[in-house]
Amino acid sequence: MILRILLIILAAIILYYLFWAPGKKKPAHRKKGKILVKDPVCGLYIPEDEALKYEAGKHTYYFCSPSCQETFIKNQSKGKKP
Ligand SMILES: [Zn+2]
């Protein structure tokens, strides 16, 4: 009886690796290709394609949320004049 159960478990593990593991690897590979950018307001790292972009002169800034973007634009227009 115990041997049969062990064989079934073993078969399940083999099936898992044959059908589940290769499918699971694909999204993980995609994540590796993502470029992370830094939010200058809160310091958070976000994937470039999900970040909000703001172009100021030659620089492009990335933000995690519209509120961070607003804060940055406000700070720029207020005090920082070269
Ligand atoms: Zn932020």
Largest CA distance in the chain: 81
Q: In this structure, are 18 and 50 located in the same domain?
A: no
Q: Which domain holds residue 72?
A: 34-82
Q: Report the domain count for the chain.
A: 2
Question: pLDDT tens-digit profile of 62-75?
Answer: 999 999 999 999 99
Average pLDDT, integer, range 40-56: 95
Q: In this structure, are 60 and 76 located in the same domain?
A: yes
CB 69 within 8 Å of CB 42: no
Q: How far apart are CA 26 and CA 23, in angstroms?
A: 6
| Spacing, Cα 27 to ligand 1 middle (Å) | 26
Q: In this structure, are 49 and 21 located in the same domain?
A: no
Q: In this structure, are 24 and 40 located in the same domain?
A: no
Has residue 31 got a pLDDT over 60? no
List the single range of 5-9, 12-16, 24-28, 67-71 with lowest mean pLDDT: 24-28
| Spacing, Cα 33 to ligand 1 middle (Å) | 22
Q: In this structure, are 38 and 75 located in the same domain?
A: yes
Q: In this structure, are 21 and 2 located in the same domain?
A: yes
Has residue 26 got a pLDDT over 80? no
| Spacing, Cα 38 to ligand 1 middle (Å) | 9
Q: In this structure, are 26 and 49 located in the same domain?
A: no
